[in-house]
Each structure stands twice: as C-alpha cells, then as structure tokens.
Structure 1
Amino acid sequence: MNLSTEARQFLHRSRKGVLSTHSARFAGYPFGSIAPFVVDHTGCPIILISTLAEHTKNILQNPNVSLIVLDDADDMQANARLTVLGQALAADKTDADLRARYLRYFPQAAGYFDMHDFSFYRITPVQARYIAGFGKMGWEEGTALTTPLPPLAQQETGIIEHMNADHADNLRAYCQHFHQVDTEQAEMIGIDSLGFDVRASSAHQPPTILRFEFEQAIQDAMQARQALVAMAKACRP
C-alpha cells in the first residue's frame, strides 16, 4: 500500500482532530480547536460548526485551515498522524445524504440541525503531510486524498438499511473475525469506497466504532455487495 492510500485510510478511520484557523481577533496567530468530523464520499472532511464559534468567525475571514488527525495510541511520536492543509467552505446543510451520514456517526448532534447557526463546512485538501511512523512520511498533493463522487454516495443509505435489516449476523461475524470483538449488536453506520464502519455494542462493553477496509476500492452498490460477500465467506470456518 502506498503512502497516499495509507493516508486516505487513516483519515477515514478518524473521527476527530484539531482544527487550526487564522485568528481574526489576534492577527498572525493560529487558533486551534477540537473538531469532530466525518469524511464525505469525495474524501473531504466535513465539520458541523456554529457561526458563534471562534473558528467559524476565523474561517469566514480566511478559509485556509489545517486539520491534524492523531492516532489514539499512547506514544504519539511513534504512531501515525496526518495534517491536512485545505480550504473550509460552507456545504449544503439541507443535503439529506450528507446529513444522514453525519448523524449516523454523531447521533448526539441531531439537535444542532434545529439551530439556525449551525452549518456544514467541507475542508477540501490542498496539501497533506502523513507520518505513518518513524522513517515513513511524506507530503501528498490534496488530490491524492480525494476522488470524484462515486455512485455509492447516493446508494449508501440503501446498502446500510439492507445490511442492518437482513445481515446483522454477518456484521457480528465481521467484528469477531477481523477485529476479534464479540458483540451482541452490530450496526453498519457508513460505507465508502475504501471500507465501512460498524458500531458494535453489548451489555459488557460500551459502543465502539470498528473500521473494515476493502482489499480493493469500490464504486457502487454491486461492487459493495461483492466485497461484503467475500468478507462474509472469509469469516466462515
């Protein structure tokens, strides 16, 4: 796997980062804030922010931002991290597919959509610095992280509904086989060209999101079905 593909997978596995904007209040200084995000089907991070927030005021004056994403491992210097330099521009808050995707990952944000001061912003990567570990790092063009919008974007909700309704047993099997996690409930919450995410939970463990990566990138529902069937077969003794 090349460095740009690793960087894309790392970004898709992540849910939060540090957003740095150009301070409008203190000229010349960067302003950092915690930012939950989801990655859309083109590979761009999507943040939901309030016009009252300091970082939003900064973005409105200067849309050039930096988003740093860290591995959760204890030794941050020895583990992967990604810095995305890009432009944060307002996205369509009424986009039903984007809203549904965001809320599957962050259901607690549902109330924010009733507040008129919250909006989506899409960070389009311009440059990225990915550090996979000691001695393995490099700069990547923003286009190395992104892709044209695939048909899968409009098919995602249907795939998720089908998997959760008809193949819950397969989802639990994926958790056990690929992550060695025994779970009572497994719910697919997102699928993209590089893989899919499952929220796993049981009476003895808090909900956790597990990432599953495809061997080859997919573009549509038919390719998704083929990849998911192959993974289900791999789970069988």
Structure 2
Amino acid sequence: MTDISTDATGDHDAAGEGRAGGPAPPPLTPVPPARRRTAGEEARTLVAQTNVATLATLSDDGGPWASLVSYAALDDGSPVLFVSTLAEHGRNLDRDPRASLVVAEAARGSDPLAHGRVTLAGRVTRPTGDQEPVARAAYLASVPTASSYQGFGDFSLYVLQVERVRWVGGYGRMDSADADAYANAQADPVGDARGAITHLNDDHADALLIMAQALGGYPDATAARCTAADRYGLDLAVETPRGSAPARVGFAEPVTDKAGLRGAAVELTRRARAQP
C-alpha cells in the first residue's frame, strides 16, 4: 500500500492501489472539494458509539497494565470511569492519575485492524462540586447496571482529562488532535453507517458508479462501491481500466441525523446524472 504523508508528524492517508499494487490512477476530471471529518470528529464519533474500552494504567512497579472497562462521556467528550480498588486498575489510578483509554469500532469481517480506533491519553481527576452529579448521572445512563454497586465504598468516580488524541481509521488512515480540538468537536450524528453502506452497495451500485464517473473524477470507472459514509459525504472504491482508486464525493449539506443519509445520497445521484 502506498502512503501519502499529510504533515511533518508522519500522519498519513492511504492513496489506494492501482493495478499490481502500484499507485492509484489519478482522476481524469476536476474533483469538487469534499469535506472530511477532522481527527477530533472521528474520535468523538467513536467514543459516542460504545461504552466499552481498554484502560491503560501504571502499576506500582511502573509497568503498564491494561484492563477492560465501561465508561460514559461528558458533553465535551471527557470519559467517565467508575472503578473499584479491588481491581488493579482502580488501585493504579488511586496512586498515579496518568492513564489512556482505547476505544475501538466493533469489528466485522476477518480483519479487526481494518476498523477504526482511538487512544485518549491524559490524567484522571475525581469530579467535585457541580461536576460530580453530572459525571455520576452520565455513567449511570451509559452503564445502568452500575446502580447496583454505586454505593459501594471501594468504587470511585473519575473523569479522564484528555490531553492527547490519536485516531486510526484503518490501514493507512490516521491523525492526531489536541485537547481543545477534541473537546470542541461533535460526534457525527450518522454514527455507525455500515448498514447504509451495505444497502448502497447491494441495491444502488448503478448510482455509485454514476457518482464516481461524474463527481469523483473517474469518467472511465467501470464499477464503484461505497467504503465509508459520514455526515459530509461518501468514500468510494473505484475500478477503472487503469486500476483501482479511492474517490470522495461530498453531500450538498452536512447530514443532521442517520435518516438523512438517504436523502443526501439521492441528491448526489441526481447531481451526478445532471452533469453533462
């Protein structure tokens, strides 16, 4: 796979592969700008999709310790944890606030590393004042079974103050975000769009091909399938006589909920068919 560096830090996006694993063929016609989610938006979207993560803490000997935990998220995306000192990770947080949380997209298919995940790193604090009931309510809403042990003395509520974010969208797609970019981003209201993607590929392959030809820059495309969908547009995998290539087609307006994907895709199809 050929990677294209997007900045000096080494973050990159896959360029795709052409015939025999070579570079992807370039577009033949100008491609309209198509907005993508930022790393902060990608991270917030993943965090909003589940309540299970891997927590990494530091043991008393300084060694790393990873555990499976449940979590909630505050309005700014800060994860809320409710852990017991009977567990090693609870004792670790009580002694050393440094921690990181890995949230992974639910894997489907044979290759889990082809799916998205995000690492949130920072320090935990115990919520106080007005934040404490807000954090507790958020956790109970996300993990209702916690109501049965919320009064136990060995459990403590923590909020991870995110300092660094690293998002990986699969092979060759990754980026970083700082604390402000993460806190100020919003989760994509489309969320997990894999059902819509399957529907597009199974029932609307002709429309995807027209999009690739008229809007994606590949008038020589012979087939196209959708590989991702978000509030801003669709990612396509395009087949041409020159080889395979990725393409991005943007919606006329950002989608405000998952139900809006259908109308946005219909508008894309109409716009593509109207091209000379």
Indicate if the aligned counterparts of 2:73 and 2:138 stay in contact, CA closer than 8 A. no
Indicate if the aligned counterparts of 1:125 and 1:143 stay in contact, CA closer than 8 A. no
Task: Tell me what 1:71 maps to.
Answer: 105
Q: Would the alpha carbon gap of residues 80 and 110 (structure 1) be closer, same or farther in structure 2, given more than 3 Å must change? A: same
AA of the residue aligned to 1:37 = Y
Task: Tell me what 2:94 maps to.
Answer: 60
Identity in percent: 28
The Cα of 1:179 is off from its aligned counterpart by 6.3
Measured in 2, the distance between the counterparts of 1:66 and 1:97 equals: 22
Measured in 2, the distance between the counterparts of 1:28 and 1:104 equals: 34
The Cα of 1:86 is off from its aligned counterpart by 0.9
Task: Tell me what 1:160 maps to.
Answer: none
Task: Tell me what 1:171 maps to.
Answer: none
Measured in 2, the distance between the counterparts of 1:96 and 1:123 equals: 16
Measured in 1, the distance between the counterparts of 2:135 and 2:161 equals: 15
Task: Tell me whether 1:22 sits opposite 2:58 in the alignment.
Answer: yes
> Structure 1 segments of 4 or more deviating over 4 A?
none
Task: Tell me what 1:45 maps to.
Answer: 79
Measured in 2, the distance between the counterparts of 1:88 and 1:96 equals: 17
In structure 2, the gaps of 5 or more residues are 1-36, 197-229, 233-255, 264-276
Q: Would the alpha carbon gap of residues 179 and 133 (structure 1) be closer, same or farther in structure 2, given more than 3 Å must change? A: closer
Task: Tell me what 1:137 maps to.
Answer: 174
Normalising by structure 1, report the TM-score. 0.59
Instruction: Answer with 104-113 or 87-96: which moved more.
Output: 87-96
The Cα of 1:125 is off from its aligned counterpart by 1.0
AA of the residue aligned to 2:80 = I
Indicate if the aligned counterparts of 2:52 and 2:103 stay in contact, CA closer than 8 A. yes
Q: Would the alpha carbon gap of residues 33 and 146 (structure 1) be closer, same or farther in structure 2, given more than 3 Å must change? A: same
Task: Tell me what 2:47 maps to.
Answer: 11
- Could you list the per-position Cα deviations for residues 172-215 of structure 1 after superposition, in whole angstroms to 9, with x for gaps in the alignment? xx9xxx968xxxxxxxxxxxxxxxxxxxxxxxxxxxxxxxx988
Measured in 1, the distance between the counterparts of 2:40 and 2:62 equals: 31
Q: Would the alpha carbon gap of residues 118 and 10 (structure 1) be closer, same or farther in structure 2, given more than 3 Å must change? A: same
Normalising by structure 2, report the TM-score. 0.51
In structure 1, the gaps of 5 or more residues are 149-173, 181-212, 216-226
Measured in 2, the distance between the counterparts of 1:126 and 1:134 equals: 25
Query: Which of the pair has more CA radius of gyration?
Result: 2
